[in-house]
Structure 1
Amino acid sequence: MADQPCTVEEHLARVLDGLEPLPAGPQPLLGALGLPAAADVRSPMRLPSFDNSAMDGYAVRHADVAAATEREPVVLPVVGEIGAGQAALHTLGPGQAAKIMTGAPVPEGADAVVPYEWTDRGTERVRVDRAPVPGQHVRPAGDDVREGDLLVAAGTLLTPRHLGLLASVGHDTVPARPRPRVVVISTGSELRDPGQPLGHDSIYDGNSWLLAAAAQRAGAVAVRAGIVSDDPEEFRAALHARLDDADLVVTSGGVSMGDYDVVKAALAPEGVWFGPVAMQPGKPQGFGRLGPRRVPVVTLPGNPVSSYISFELFVRPALRRLVGRTPELREPVPARLTGPVTSPPGRRQYLRGDLDRDGDVTVVAPVGGSGSHLVGDLARANALIVVPEATTALEAGTTVDVLPIDEDY
């Protein structure tokens, strides 16, 4: 293990070095929600694809009803009914009307739709009390989208609106990179799954749920691989068994200087780097690539706050690179401290905070203590207060950089 701590930026560069976006391909529409489009997508058709009615009413020729008023209505024979998806009538002759529903195709020859409200709603003959203007209540073909129009530009983050548009012109897939498959492994003989009874020296495994949920929220497909004991051979076997199904592996625990640091004991002989990073919490870190596919393995410390903050700083940027999302790093925002904070020299401190934006004023309140075990305080926070390495104390009212961890970017 290295004696001299590296910087946060140096370890992030180690994780990202050589990491390439996953190969792009056609993804099912719903599966692509929240992913960036990997290529431009253009429309293969017009939208609407045919002239259709914007109202329930009667398709007419404008010339036949141009003089209609309430005092001098025009009466026309009704020669058919046109429902959406049930268009048996294709042509309308002079002096005729056809009942038509919203979205149904306007027959050839008709150039306007008279709403029900302007008629007596007759079935065999209809009285028209008010004249539409030419084209009124008709949605022209191509009025919304023309064939060849750019629907989604490469890099666009796909929203429900984009997916609805793509489906509306017949696309059932969209070019995008697949969601990274992230395998999360917790280590520790003391760990138990939630729902199991606890012994006097055991604790529930919250880390794998925390990290798997964070990975899923970041756009990955997360798999909890279960709990592995403090046996290096058992851990090594469990990890290697998962490499074929993973684009990235995240472990928590077993990376420090203790006698039972299983992750370091198992993976250091395979060339995985372990060392200190000049940060608090989260000083012990590790990274390497394993297996024939050289799957990246990010080893995080076991305390829950350390583990989560390390995920935000090192794993989330890696996941964004794998799917081609930019920017890869979260941009800090300036905020005014509502209370004083302290920090050890030589380490970049990431304190939990409650960020509040009220108009032009942005403030952040420190939440709880600095202990890396205080998961309750972590749950109450929505931001990380960044205290630089050379700073040991900040007074209330000081402007600091803050990472808003509950916001997408």
Structure 2
Amino acid sequence: MKQRIELEAACELVADKLKSFSNETVKLVNSSGRVLAEDVRAPMHQPPFDRSPLDGFAVRAEDTTGASTETPVSLKIVSKLYAGDSPVKKIGPGEAARIMTGAPIPEGADSVIRQERTDWNDEEVEIKATLKPGQNYAPAGEDIKQGELLCEKGTLLRSPHLGVLASMGLEEVLVLPEPEVSVLTTGSELQEVGQELKPGKIYNSNNYMISTRLKECGAKVINSQVAVDEKDILRDRLAELIPGSDFLVTTGGVSVGEKDLILEVLEEMGAEIFFWKLAIKPGTPVVCGRLDDTIIFGLSGNPAACITTFDLLVRPTLIKINGLEKENLRKEKAIFIDDFNKSSSTRRMLRAWVVRTEKGNIVKLSKGNQRPGVLKTTLDCNCFIDIPAGSPPVESGAEVEIFRLPEIYN
């Protein structure tokens, strides 16, 4: 078991320990937010037939030669077509078909005149404009041609993609895996939301924060439980949650106190422990290991420390599997416009808010203090300022490196 390792080494170690995940075939209706595992090409034209883009009459353009308001041309109406109809009557010389938007253009017709340029009764239509072949005519494949690349491998599927794929009649798509994760929040002090708060207790905020964070970065939360700080109960909860989970995220019980029991219980259960403690602050207390095929992340119970190590360690691990790079952190530079008057013997991750300007990123500390047990700073945190170990206090105007969170947190 490694101890107090660097963040980057921890991420690499976990990545090396990941099991192989298989791509999934899912129903198109359930594919929003998933990432395509292969290119998708159009199996047919869209539209699949020549169709009218407006209400009017399908005609042969040559039959409208010389037609105008002053000298209309009269044609015989031989059929009427609505969207969804299948034309059976070919249009011959001197003939027209009444046609509605989206209806297939019948054989023989090569243009459509809008109804506003005509007068008609049940038998005949007067054409008041000369048409060119192909005028007001949407040919098969006008929108999408058969064989055209619709969506590339790695595309994050959203409503426009689903609309296009559905127009091709595709009922299923092959997507990258969706990791299945269980959550265990630990602590004898925890009380569930909705109950009257008892003396010495706090509400279980970590469950809501971590479960939601997991969903935001593309994981499927399959179970969520809470446990008090007692070895037998922790062992029972872990034994229940680990089977069937790709990952287990726990909060609390990973530091050095008498009731910090997660590491001890995992070792007694035979887990392989990859490392204990990260060389960052907040979030030093972290346990990471594996039992059977389940990767376990034991995070701090302190809310700010918990969310910091989740974003820096758990998030990139999940995204390696599901391909949601849009939801990953980005390393950028920014100008610090605040003051942080502490030296940093340990590498720090300061919760902060970054804004893009014409001159580049500017960043300031989140409102509230930077202690690991506070929640308020998570409300206006869209990045972490990475302060290297051994750094002096950070003054306004200094250039800093940041880990920028996805746009959804802006």
- Class of the TM-score when normalised by the shorter of the 2 chains: over 0.9
**Deviation per CA, 1:31-69, whole angstroms, max 9, x where unpaired?**
322222111222221111110111111111111112211
The answer on 1:289 being equivalent to 2:290 is: yes
Contact persistence 1:341–1:393 (CA under 8 A): yes
Contact persistence 2:52–2:104 (CA under 8 A): yes
What is aligned with 1:61?
A: 60
What is aligned with 1:272?
A: 273
**Deviation per CA, 1:275-318, whole angstroms, max 9, x where unpaired?**
22110110011111113xx1111111110011101110111111
Unaligned ranges ≥5, structure 2: none
Q: 1:275 is matched by which residue type in structure 2? A: W
Q: 1:289 is matched by which residue type in structure 2? A: R
Stretch of structure 1 that moved more, 224-233 or 101-110:
224-233
Map 1:100-111; keep pairs closer than 5 Å. 100-111=99-110
Residue aligned with 1:138, SS: coil
Q: CA deviation at 1:365?
A: 1.4
Q: 1:145 to 1:390 in 2, by over 3 A?
A: same
Q: 1:121 to 1:216 in 2, by over 3 A?
A: farther
CA distance in 2, matches of 1:21, 1:82: 55
CA distance in 2, matches of 1:328, 1:215: 11
What is aligned with 1:191?
A: 190
**Deviation per CA, 1:192-247, whole angstroms, max 9, x where unpaired?**
11101111011100001101100100011124522111112222221221223311
Q: 2:276 is matched by which residue type in structure 1? A: G
Q: CA deviation at 1:338?
A: 1.1
What is aligned with 1:402?
A: 402
What is aligned with 2:235?
A: 236
What is aligned with 1:390?
A: 390
Q: 1:244 to 1:95 in 2, by over 3 A?
A: farther
Q: CA deviation at 1:326?
A: 4.4
TM-score of the two chains, using structure 2 as the length reference: 0.93
Contact persistence 1:351–1:386 (CA under 8 A): yes
Q: CA deviation at 1:344?
A: 4.5
CA distance in 1, matches of 2:327, 2:407: 14
Q: 2:112 is matched by which residue type in structure 1? A: V
Q: 1:400 is matched by which residue type in structure 2? A: V
Map 1:210-249; keep pairs closer than 5 Å. 210-249=209-248
Aligned length: 406
Q: 1:21 to 1:104 in 2, by over 3 A?
A: farther
CA distance in 1, matches of 2:302, 2:223: 18
Q: CA deviation at 1:5?
A: 2.2
TM-score of the two chains, using structure 1 as the length reference: 0.94
Unaligned ranges ≥5, structure 1: none
Q: CA deviation at 1:174?
A: 0.8
Q: CA deviation at 1:328?
A: 8.9
What is aligned with 2:160?
A: 161
Q: 2:67 is matched by which residue type in structure 1? A: A
Q: CA deviation at 1:392?
A: 2.7
Q: 1:302 is matched by which residue type in structure 2? A: G
What is aligned with 1:377?
A: 377
Q: CA deviation at 1:90?
A: 4.1
Stretch of structure 1 that moved more, 277-286 or 139-148:
139-148
Residue aligned with 1:356, SS: strand
CA distance in 2, matches of 1:146, 1:21: 37
Residue aligned with 1:393, SS: coil
Residue aligned with 1:87, SS: coil
Residue aligned with 1:244, SS: coil
Residue aligned with 1:310, SS: helix
Q: CA deviation at 1:27?
A: 1.4
Q: 2:148 is matched by which residue type in structure 1? A: D
Contact persistence 1:209–1:224 (CA under 8 A): no
Q: CA deviation at 1:274?
A: 4.8
CA distance in 1, matches of 2:18, 2:65: 68
Q: 1:78 to 1:316 in 2, by over 3 A?
A: same
CA distance in 2, matches of 1:213, 1:387: 27
Q: CA deviation at 1:273?
A: 4.2
What is aligned with 2:117?
A: 118
